[in-house]
Structures are given as C-alpha cells and as structure tokens.
Amino acid sequence: MITSLTNGKVKELVQLRDKAKERKKQDVFLVEGRKMLEEAPSERIQEVYVSEGYLEKRGTLGKLEQISFEAVSDEVFRKISDTQTPQGVLCVVKQFHYEIKDLIKKKNPCLVLLEDIQDPGNLGTIFRTGEGAGIDGIIMSKGTVDLYNPKTIRSTMGSIYRMPFFYAESLADNIKGLQKMGVSVYAAHLHGRNNYEQEDYTKGTAFLIGNEGNGLQEQTAALADTYIKIPMKGKVESLNAAVATALLMYEADRQRRK
C-alpha cells in the first residue's frame, strides 16, 4: 500500500491530474469513481488505484476483482483525487485518437462543431447529451478546453468512452471540408432568420456553436450555410452553450425519428 505523499507515483498522478501537457506527453488521462471504471474499455485501463477506506467498506469489488490495482491510504487518495468527496477509485486510462473519417461513417451524419468552448462542465455535458441524442461526433477548435481535464471527464459521465471527437487545427478548413461532402452547417446565431425547429436536419447536418462569452467569431459564423436562432422570452438574450447545443441535437434526433 502506498502511504507516503512524497511517493514518486503519487507525484506523477498529481501531475497528470493538473497538467494537460503531462497528460498529452504520456497519452493518458485520469478517471474517478467505480462507474467510470466499470464503463472503461478494459484494454485502455493502464493503472488502477483504490483507497484503503473503499476496500474496507465495499462488500463487492465488481470489475476490480478481475484486474490488478494498487491500494493507497485515504490520505494519499485525497491527494491525487480531483473531488472534495473522493469515491475511492481512480484509473489511468489511455487517450482516444480519432480521425475525421471516424465521425462521418454514416450517411447523413449529425455533428457538433465547437469553437473555443472554455468551461469544462459545458464541454463534458455536450459530450454526454450528444451521446443521448445520437449524434455521430464532435469537432472542436484547438482553442477549446482540454477534453481530458478531470472536470470535463467527470461531466461526460462515461460518454468520453463512446463519443468520437476531433480537435481541428483549422475549424474553418473542417467546415469547408464537411460542406464539400454535402453536410449543411447551421450556426446558432442571434441574427438567425428562422427558429431552429424550422430547418430540416434529416440530411447531413452540423451545428456550429461558439464560445460561452463571445459567441462565434465573425469569420467562422460567415462560413455557415444557415443561421438559426433559439427564440427567447423575457429578458434572456442567450442560453448556456451546453443547453443550446442540447436543444439543437434533440431537434435533429426528433426529426430523424419520424
């Protein structure tokens, strides 16, 4: 059992938790909790750490019974955990790598394009909701928050394991490439002529969503085929990025289920 806070492995785990550069270097990320362990593809699990308290309290270990793990003291687990109330299970998982072709395998795909989303919770929620709505993938600008941030991973609730994604070196180039393949790009925009439910999303569709504070950059929005708007009542001017994206994705799903 690891009991020292100065243990080399403990220091490494803290680095992986806090630094995107270290996660990228080692090509791994951290997940916490038994549910996230149970859903993780077994071939991608690199290391597992379990707190002393978890081992004492849990009557059954589930997936832990089939894999090797390292026990750590509760103090050490609190040190490596990203949560205020640690669940007692932490895994090191190999990162995922996709190409654009992995997101457009189906005829008439439905995609989400994100420009510079900064809130980890928003990004994770979009992944989770996207899986629920049945979209085919998410393309992000390189200015988007790190998907492997522990807060983002936690917000995905396991969808990180199943939702294909791609960080675009040039979001503009990817938009143009999708359009050449017959995918219509719809920008959520205050200047939208039609409300979002008035458009047809049964063909190849991509929803373009901008930064939480500033929206889409003008040059990016200009690339869209169509501007769409979400009608607002009261004095509300805009919705949370994840909420707006959810409305659009589920409208596409509704239309495709007819």
What domains, with CATH codes, occur in the chain?
8-94 (3.30.1330.30), 100-256 (3.40.1280.10)
Token look-up 């939208």 returns 192
Q: Let me know: does 239 contact 184? Beta carbons within 8 Å.
A: no
Q: What is the reported pLDDT for 61?
A: 63
Q: What is the reported pLDDT for 236?
A: 80
Residues of the chain falling short of pLDDT 70: 58-62
Q: What is the reported pLDDT for 191?
A: 81
**DSSP state, 63?**
G
Token look-up 């895994």 returns 91
Q: What is the reported pLDDT for 178?
A: 97
Q: What's the order of all strands across the beta sheet hosting 28-32?
A: 28-32, 89-94, 45-51, 70-72
Q: What is the reported pLDDT for 93?
A: 98
Distance between CA atoms of residues 128 and 201, nearest Å: 20
Instruction: Decide: pTM greater than 0.85.
Output: yes
Distance between CA atoms of residues 123 and 117, nearest Å: 7
Q: Could you give phi then psi for residue 2, rounded to 5 degrees?
A: -85, 120
